[in-house]
Structure 1
Amino acid sequence: MSDTEDQEELLSRKHKKERKELQAQIQKLKHSVPKGDKKKKKEVSEQIAKLELDLDQRQEAESQEQKALSNVAERLEVLDTKDAEPASDSPVGSSGGVASGQEEKRLSKAQKRRNKKQAKDREREEGIKEQDIQNLSGARHIELLNVKKALKSQNLQIFEIQSDGNCLYNAVNHQLAKNGDSSSNEALRNQVAKYMKENKDEFMPFLTKDNGDMFTEEDFEKYCHDTAHTTAWGGQLEVRALSQTLKQPIRVVQSEGPPVVAGEEFEDRPSIVLCYLRHAFGLGEHYNSVEEYRQDEEEDFS
């Protein structure tokens, strides 16, 4: 099975699992309606319809994105196969002599290489254009538009942060600098690791291994060590720890639902505003910072 087929199979399993989970959620909602309460029944019916519609749209977008990626991968695989085939040599003319025949042979090979490169470049460009068109309805594009809309309503826009494992800490540092503060990734990581170790019961229950098992004491110690000394990616737990060590609320704008706020108890302090993208880099989740909205960078959301 190819990598592309593996990804399609994983996506199919993911969608089936989400469907099953949604059905369980729907059953719970239905059972929560008291008998004879028509108003509550109507509200739950509308909520169920929205949940089903949201799931349908998101899964369709993810399927379209996977299809686009598969098409590009298939084209590139064909081109790579062609490049691996040995080029046939042109015959040497009898009247040109050995020297002129070798020169013609060299020119022929060089021309063939140029032609192949040009053909491959054209195929890549066509694949990229096709993917861009299909991505207009893809999960990544839809998520980005939704985040931009949410930020624009607050007179904000995305400030791009490099995806290198330090995106959360770089985004927080960008926000701190705007408020006249300064720090470093190393300092923030050390603060987070120290706070998590000192408040183990607050974090350890939410950490699991790849196989689903809960973290052991040793696992948690390694997790905190990696947080402090590597470029380990930070998520919601680290956001919580950062809000506590900085004594500031951190508001994370997402594609769906209201912003997630950590450190609400510090509402008298300036808020750190970030945006979270689940589909920003294929398999990688990503945090960006924000900045004041500028009219000349307005995008068409219609």
Structure 2
Amino acid sequence: MTIIDENETPIQALKARHGREKKDLQAQVTKLKNLAKNDKKKKKDLLAEVEKMEKELKSRHEKELLEIGHNEDAKQRLEEEKIVKAELEKVKKAQEKTRNKHEKYQEKKEEFNRTMAKKAEEQAIYDLTSKKTLELAEINQKLAPLNLELFEIAADGDCLYNALAHQLQQHGRSDTGSSLRKMAADCIVQNKEYFFPYLGVEDTGFDKYIFETANSAISGGRWGGHPELVAISDFLKKRIEVIQSEMEKVVIGEKYPLPSLILTYHTNAFLGEHYNSTIAARPHAPDDTF
């Protein structure tokens, strides 16, 4: 029976529950290990199952800690703002009595504005970091059942093409980000009637769009997006899957055979949208304590 401490904070309660869940999992693992002592095949299957259970528990705990930490910080900021506003109200009333008190109020107000501006800046940085971490945890959670892990691609404006090149290299091809840019541009030109409505440009801007698609970011190129993924998928006759955090995966070229080229799409990484590649999950050494 769990004893509830009324003075316990939400984050303390969460950590306590996490501790209990870890102990419960360890007890379950120990019990399973005892059952598989003398069965090598069963032992191998068990190690894989144990690793999966531990990964899932760790991922869920990390996500819960991030969520409750964000809520606790928000509550604390609200309380701080209430205190500052209450102080300002006192100064506002006092300034009506004398000019000197009015000047002090002005100083307090300016100080408050400076404080709030600083807090707003700190909050913006915190939100970006928090969202990035949560998004990454959710994407990793979606990759785990596929036995995949994220492979980071440089955030240089060419990430979509370089991520696809990395995927293709794992399938025995030698494509590069530059060659895929030209491939996408050529395919869009050859099928202009199909692609043009999705490009978001006027007819007079089509040539500029193609130039920016064919050239790297450092040479004035544009970031790749959905039209370019469709173009490359059709040109190579390859199925492409894009894993996202809060939405269902996007599948491009469903008519083409498996295996898919699998990318991840991030909206809170590196101050903007970004694509990464994936690789087969690397094995972690199990804790073999039979």
Provide TM-score, normalisation by structure 2.
0.52
Q: Is the 8 A contact 2:178 2:216 kept in 1?
A: no
Q: Is the 8 A contact 1:251 1:262 kept in 2?
A: yes
Q: Is the 8 A contact 1:135 1:141 kept in 2?
A: no
**May I ask how many residue pairs the two structures share in their alignment?**
168
- Would you say 1:187 and 2:176 are equivalent positions? no
- Residue 265 of structure 1 is matched in structure 2 by 255
How much has 1:278 moved relative to structure 2? 0.8
- Would you say 1:152 and 2:173 are equivalent positions? no
How much has 1:206 moved relative to structure 2? 2.1
Which deviations, in whole Å up to 9, do the C-alpha atoms of 1:221-263 show, x marking residues without a partner?
A: 1101111023221011111111111110000000023210111
Letter of the aligned partner of 2:240 in structure 1? I
Cα distance 1:257–1:227, how it changes in 2: closer, same or farther (>3 A)? same
CA distance in 2, matches of 1:297, 1:236: 39
Letter of the aligned partner of 2:206 in structure 1? F
- Would you say 1:170 and 2:170 are equivalent positions? no
Cα distance 1:237–1:245, how it changes in 2: closer, same or farther (>3 A)? same
Q: Is the 8 A contact 2:158 2:216 kept in 1?
A: no
1:172 counterpart SS class = helix
Provide TM-score, normalisation by structure 1.
0.50
Cα distance 1:145–1:224, how it changes in 2: closer, same or farther (>3 A)? same
Letter of the aligned partner of 1:181 in structure 2? R
- Residue 246 of structure 2 is matched in structure 1 by 256
Structure 1 outlier segments of 4+, above 6 Å: none
Letter of the aligned partner of 1:216 in structure 2? E
Give the unaligned 5+ runs of structure 1: 1-56, 68-126, 209-214
Alignment of 1:215-234 (within 5 A): 215-231=201-217, 232-234=222-224
CA distance in 1, matches of 2:184, 2:140: 29
- Residue 36 of structure 1 is matched in structure 2 by none
Letter of the aligned partner of 2:284 in structure 1? D
2:255 counterpart SS class = helix
Q: Is the 8 A contact 1:136 1:142 kept in 2?
A: no
Cα distance 1:189–1:272, how it changes in 2: closer, same or farther (>3 A)? same
Q: Is the 8 A contact 1:188 1:242 kept in 2?
A: yes
Q: Is the 8 A contact 2:263 2:277 kept in 1?
A: yes
- Identity rate of aligned residues, in percent? 40
- Residue 274 of structure 1 is matched in structure 2 by 263
192, 199, 216: which one aligns with 2:191: 199
Letter of the aligned partner of 1:204 in structure 2? F
